[in-house]
Every structure is written in structure tokens, then in C-alpha cells.
Structure 1
Amino acid sequence: MSNLSYANAEYGPWKTFLEQVDRVAPYLSEDLSKYVDTLKRPKRALIVDVPIIMDDGTIRHFEGYRVQHNLSRGPGKGGIRYHPDVEINEVMALSAWMTIKTAVVNLPFGGAKGGIRVDPRTLSPRELERLTRRYTSEISHIIGPQKDIPAPDVGTNANVMGWIMDTYSSGQGHTVTGVVTGKPVHLGGSLGRVKATGRGVFITGYEIAKKIGLSLDGAKVSVQGFGNVGSEAANLFSEYKSKIVCIQDHTGTIFNADGIDLEGLHAHVAATQGVLGFAGAKQIDNEDFWDVETDIIIPAALEGQITIERAKRLKAKMILEGANGPTYPEADDILVGRDIVVVPDVICNAGGVTVSYFEWVQDMSSFFWTEDEINERLDKLMIQAVADVWNCAADNKCTMRTAAYILACERILRARKERGIYPG
């Protein structure tokens, strides 16, 4: 069974989050700082057994999780991840980052996250559906449109969200579209949701580039991860005449100093399921990704990618954290010392949860907006959030990550203080 001693976890993403909280604590007012331990303990952590009947008639058991980190500002919000490395400390950290992220962009949500330790590529479509429906039944008592609203994450998609919605609705006796976001559009999903996270990465990058005097015209960009987030961010930077010089995904790393033809690459990925072997670029070693001379690096894969050693080698002016928790705290310090601007995950990749909020609002009202309206609302909210974080960093003479945590923690802990502790 996974280790639940989260207060003393000594490794991995949860430890990273705890260090980030410790770094922001000195900036908090005295009346709020006494509540800071609230952030160091998830409100609720659920581990469930997920047994399913496989296509060959055998029974397999999978371990599933749902963690609600903080619900002081509203219902939990966060994705569900299907990945063979999913474990409780990772899910706790991801739920905690969602708490911070929703507060930074001032959405009326708390933070949550879920997952199953499984490689979904090894399951048939029917097995995947059985797994999803059984997992949903195991966590259904703690999710709901006013409790906790899941969404897609690594290894899950709109189809999985549709199964979750249907399973939950069956238990309620009526259709509950607002129980998840990231659904198919015809089941109450929102236009613009698939591209929202990547769009948010671009918007934050565009705004910060203006502030540091970095022209996007001709800027060299490297992207780690070429899924929904990395590919959309690359597309938008390319539209602004940036050169995408290096891309890494699960199949390997490709490089072209003159810029990679994204249209051709998209066709190649659709045919081969990966970037490796694309004729318009040469293959380089995966570790060499971190040595490419570039202006902007977009880590848009998994957490823990920018280590101390890699931070010392990076040749970039700005890092846009499309993934959650890609940079270790010690690596952050090195990047600061090298004058590399880091736009933190909790603001940089918040486009996805922002449009998830829009989807939830639309489901609650049964009134839906056009994609142009969605993008206009997203851009406006993200631009304001970036400005707030930038100004907070300037006022406190701190990094953007610390500034984002200052804003978020003040909002979260003020809600905790004003709600009080029951019983008193």
C-alpha cells in the first residue's frame, strides 16, 4: 500500500510543494500565517481498489486515488491521471498545485486530483471503460458539481470524462453534466477546452516576453511534450514567427536550427504516434534537449524535469512551465541566479482549468458560448492574472513563482480564516 505519511514525505513532488509553501510563508501577514499548515495537509485522501474483469475473463486489481487538498474557496477541481507511475504523494502534490492554480487566477474552486496506477495503452477500449466506470463508482460519494469536479489529465480524454459523467448520473437518477469538465462538446463540454492549456501557455509567454523585452519574431523555442499542451503552444508561437527548433516527446527528440515545419510534423505524428523519424529534423539524444541554445523552453510533459544539473546547463531566457511541477526548488534558485525568467506552472498552464470553469458555468446554466467568446474570456482573465503576479513580484522583490504563491495563499488562507474552524 502507498505511503500516506504526507506530513513527512521526503521525496518527490509533494516535498517540492511543501518547500514552495515554506518559501512563501515569510511573505504572509501575521493573521494569515498561523493558518499556513492548512496547506501542508490534504483535506481528504482516498485510496480505492479498482477490480475489473479483463477481456480474457481474468480479474485484475488496480489502485486508484482521489485527493481533495483544499476546499475553502469552493468545490475541488482537478484532473484524473492514468499512468503506471501514479502514486499517492504525486496525486497529493498535483491536488495542492490545483489549489494554488485556481486561486492565482481567482476561480471559485479548491484543488483536487485523481488517478489510477495503470498504463492505459495496455487496455482494450472495453477494459478502459470498465476501469473508468468502476473507479467512478468507488469515488462517486466525494465528487459532484458542488463537491469535486474531475477533468482529463495524462492518459485520459473526453471519452473517459463521458463515461465518468454517465456512471455518476446513473447513480443520481438524472443527467449531471457538471460533474466533470473536458467532456465531448455534445455532452455539455465547452468549445475551446482541448486547446485551452496550450493557449494559456502562449498568452503568459507573450505577456512576459513584452515585459522583459524579448521579441517573439525569430525567437527560438524548445518544447518538451507534444500533446495537447505542447503542440498548441508551439502552433501559436509559430504563428507569431517564432522558430520551433527542438521538440521532445515519449518517442525521442528532434532538432532543426532553422525551425521545424509544424504542419508536416503534425501529419507525421498522426501517422506514427510520435515525433521520432520526422524527415524535417534530425534526431538528437534526449538529454541533449537541455543543451539546445534557445530563447524559450516549454516543459509540457511530466513533473520533475528541470533538475539542479539541467538548470546549470540551460541556454534560455525564459521558461514557460506547461507541465505541473517541472522544476525542483533548488533548480529554481539556480535559474534565478542565471537571470532566466521562470513563468510558474500555477499561472502558465492555468488556461485549462480556466476554460474548465467556463464549462462548469455553462453546464450549470445550460447556456453555451461560442469558441471566440471562450477565447476572449480566457485571454482577458489570463492577462489580468499575469499582470497581478508580475506586479506582486515587483512589489515584493521576489520571483514570479513566489509572487503567484503569495497571491494564492493570501486568498486561500483568508477564506480559511473567515470561514473559521468547526467546532470552534
Structure 2
Amino acid sequence: MTDDRASAFRSGISYVHPEPAGPWGTFLEQIERVTPHLGALAKMAETLRRPKRTLIVDVPIEMDDGSIGHFEGFRIQHNLARGPGKGGVRFHPGVTLEEVMALAGWMTIKNAAVNLPFGGAKGGVRLDPKKLSRKEIEHVTRRYTSEIGGIIGPQQDIPAPDVNTDAQIMAWMMDTYAMNTGLASTGVVTGKPINLGGSLGRAPATGRGVFVIGRDAIRRLNMAMEGARIAIQGFGNVGATTAELFAEARAKIVAVQDSRGAVANPSGLPVAELVAHARKNSGVAHFPHGETIDREAFWDIPCDVLIPAALEGQLTAARANRIKARLVLEGANGPTVPEADDILASRGVTVVPDVICNAGGVTVSYFEWVQDFASYFWTEDEINDRLAKILRGALRHIWETAERRGVSLRTAAFIVACERVLTAHMERGLYP
């Protein structure tokens, strides 16, 4: 962020500039596009352009070599009108204030679109996990948790895993919060180890949600699941789980791309072997049972369903003109820029937006939070059944809204979510 834009944001000036750029610019444009559909609530839409709370922290730790390392951390609470903040924490060298603001905004929309009793929040620390030891990552986690400890809590803001964070990191966060507060609050984070109050079914929940939503979307578009050609960008937890579930349903995974490379096989990649290879080699590159292709060539692969499940901003206007899919399922947060949305719509490609498509993770996080409060835990079958029921119901409502209003699924999801958030603001009023 440039100095003048950062100054404008911190002084309270509406952070809307003539040419929005990056993830936050994408989010602002999405709010701009939905505002005309909000009727009397449109006058309150400015609330969604202003994060409620922005915390930027220095995270100093002693490195393994005795030096002092400094890392910049963020926790953004975008909107808390419908409940405590909910959103993950990512450790990545590309983490910025603008990115975390956008991710927090999308969490507000996502939680409202699925009708979970949460607001939107997100966190991150700018670091490259590949360059730190596990002990150094623990130190970063604990110091970061201490720095943001004043604004998180089971009824305030509940972090969860995201890019490059996992159940162990959530355990360190929970323990640090407990040590600092004297409270054994298992509900302060979700995505924890099972032994510490975690929920069965949480780890694969985002990928399972993509599959559940994708299966319904395929049916609604009168496509056949068996033999459907699936291309997946990103092969971490979300991409791999999604691939496994689609393969079990007799679809064909014809191409996979990740940060290390891309592989393709028009007859279908053997998913179990690919998952094992990716785990062993930290990526899909050099997989022996598929053709190695250029990473950019991935976007030209003939397929029926494209699943971007990596980072935001990957489906650009140029790539939107090239893809061969009939259906896009957004497994990542914010993977499609607004210009690409317009191009895909003009080409008749259906896009199921991230705020509904990848909501499986936060939905099972909600289940975990509820179970922690009750100290009563459900079976994995119960978790999966409840997840499918909530996501399918949310998709049905959004699909019907899109058809009734004559808008895209993304606009429909934002209409549903923004109406719920802004109605909550209206009913609560302004204090003082």
C-alpha cells in the first residue's frame, strides 16, 4: 500500500480509489456491484467498505542462530454485526494488509451467505515457512498470539488454520491464549487437534464442501458427474481432498497445477498416487503417471469443471478468455478478478463463488466451536451430514435468488449476505 493510501485508510477516509487493485480492490468492486441490488439497505453499504478493527503488530522472536528476527503480523476484524469474528491465520511471504483486509471482508460475506452466527475476520504473518525451523515457527505463533490476544476470544474473534498453518499451530495459539488469560478456552480457535477439542471432519471440510457444492451445481446444469473432466489449481489440503472426492464419484482429474509444477492426463490422473507423490515431494512436479506441462498451459486444458484452489487473483481476464470449462468452482478465496467474472459470464461459464463454494471449512469450524461450548462431540458421519445439509440449503437459496433477480451466483451470494449483515446493523442501531 502506498503511503498516501495507508494514511487515508488510517485517518478514516473511505478506502475506495478510482482504480481498485489487488484483493482489497476486488472486494470493494464486488461491494460496488451489489449495492444497486440492496434497496433501502444500500445507504448502509459504506459500512462494508470499512473494516471495523485493523491491528498491525511486530512479531519479534529469537532465531535459532541467536539473532532477533522481526515479522509483521495482522489481525483484521472486518464486521462483527452478526457475531464474533471468524477467519483463518495464514503464514506466507506475500501477506499484506490489503490482502488480509480483503480476506476478512470475504469472511463477513461467507459467514452471512451460509447463515453462520459469525462476523468476518482474518489474520496473517508475513514469513516464508520454508525458511524457518519448526521451533522458530512455534515462537512466531506464540508471540503473534500474544500480540493479538487482546482482541481474540471465544466470544470475540476465533482464528483457524489457513495457508501454511495447521492443527499444531492452532494448539500453540490455544495454549498461549490460555497461559496469558488463565482460561482453558478451547473455543478460542478452531481446527485444533482432536485431543484438544478439535472436531472430526475439520481437516478435509473445505475440500468436502467444494465437492458437495460442485455435485449440486453439476446436477443443476444437467451435466454428468461420471466422466466429468476436472482441472484443479492448487494441491494442498483443499485441492487434494477435492480431487479424491471427485475421483470417488467417477469424475476424471485431468490436470493439476501447484507452486512446483503442473501435470495432465486426458484419461485421468491416478489421484491416490498423485496425492502420495505430492506429499513426498512437496508438489506434483515430475509425477510419473502424467504429462508434465508448463504451469501457464494449465489454463488451456480441455475440461468440464475448473477448480482454482490456490491463492487469490489467479483467474485473470487473460486466463478467463482461454479456459475451456463450463463450470468454475472457487475453492480458493478471491481467485477470480471482476474483469474475469464479466468475461466468463459473457462466455456462458457458470462460476460458483468462493463465499459459498469453499465455506465447508468455516461451517465445520462452527460445529467445532459449538461442540467445545457443549463439551459434547459428534461423529464424523454426523459432521458430514450436517455440513452437506447447510451447504446445499445455502446453494439452493443463492441459486434461486440468482434466477429470480437475473444476476450471477456471485452477485446473488453477495445480495443474500449483505442483506443479512446490513439488516443486523440496522436492527442493532448505532451506539452511542
TM-score category (smaller protein): over 0.9
Name the counterpart of 1:50: 59
CA contact (8 A) 1:312 1:334 kept: yes
Name the counterpart of 1:65: 74
CA shift digits 1:255-282 (9 cap, x unpaired): 0010000111122122212111111001
Code of the aligned partner of 2:275: H
1:125 maps onto 2:134 in alignment: yes
Code of the aligned partner of 1:177: T
Please list every run of 5 or more consecutive structure 1 residues that lacks an aligned counterpart in the other structure. none
Of 200, 223, 237, the match for 2:209: 200
2:151 is paired with a residue of what secondary structure? coil
Name the counterpart of 1:28: 38
CA shift digits 1:96-134 (9 cap, x unpaired): 000000000000000000000000111111111111000
1:61 is paired with a residue of what secondary structure? strand
CA shift digits 1:72-96 (9 cap, x unpaired): 0000000001000100000000000
Identity within the alignment, %: 59
Of 338, 341, 345, the match for 1:336: 345
Cα shift at 1:34:
1.1
Cα shift at 1:8:
3.4
Q: Distance in 1 between matches of 2:276 and 2:141?
A: 30
Name the counterpart of 1:17: 27
Name the counterpart of 1:224: 233
1:185 maps onto 2:227 in alignment: no
CA contact (8 A) 2:254 2:264 kept: yes
Q: Distance in 2 between matches of 1:26 and 1:64?
A: 35
Cα shift at 1:420:
0.3
Structural mapping, 1:352-371, within 5 Å: 352-371=361-380
Code of the aligned partner of 1:397: G
Q: Distance in 2 between matches of 1:23 and 1:284?
A: 37
Name the counterpart of 1:149: 158
Name the counterpart of 1:377: 386
**TM-score w.r.t. structure 1 length?**
0.98
Name the counterpart of 1:400: 409
**TM-score w.r.t. structure 2 length?**
0.96
Code of the aligned partner of 1:14: W
CA contact (8 A) 1:2 1:88 kept: no
Code of the aligned partner of 1:8: V
Q: Distance in 2 between matches of 1:342 and 1:108?
A: 26
Name the counterpart of 1:265: 274
**Structure 1 residue ranges, 4+ long, deviating more than 4 angstroms after superposition:** none
2:412 is paired with a residue of what secondary structure? helix
CA contact (8 A) 2:16 2:28 kept: no
CA contact (8 A) 2:364 2:383 kept: yes
Structural mapping, 1:71-110, within 5 Å: 71-110=80-119
CA shift digits 1:310-356 (9 cap, x unpaired): 11111010000000000000110000000000000000000000000
Across the aligned residues of Structure 1 and Structure 2, the Cα RMSD in angstroms comes to: 1.0
Please list every run of 5 or more consecutive structure 2 residues that lacks an aligned counterpart in the other structure. 10-14
Cα shift at 1:2:
7.4
CA shift digits 1:210-263 (9 cap, x unpaired): 111110110100000111111111111111111100001111000001000011
Cα shift at 1:396:
0.2
Q: Distance in 2 between matches of 1:264 and 1:14?
A: 38
Name the counterpart of 1:387: 396
Of 105, 116, 119, the match for 2:125: 116
Q: Distance in 2 between matches of 1:62 and 1:263?
A: 37
Q: Distance in 2 between matches of 1:2 and 1:277?
A: 40
Q: Distance in 2 between matches of 1:391 and 1:333?
A: 20
Name the counterpart of 1:41: 50
Q: Distance in 2 between matches of 1:414 and 1:270?
A: 45
Q: Distance in 1 between matches of 2:183 and 2:343?
A: 53
Q: Distance in 2 between matches of 1:265 and 1:11?
A: 36
Q: Distance in 1 between matches of 2:158 and 2:254?
A: 37
Name the counterpart of 2:312: 303
Q: How many residues align?
A: 422
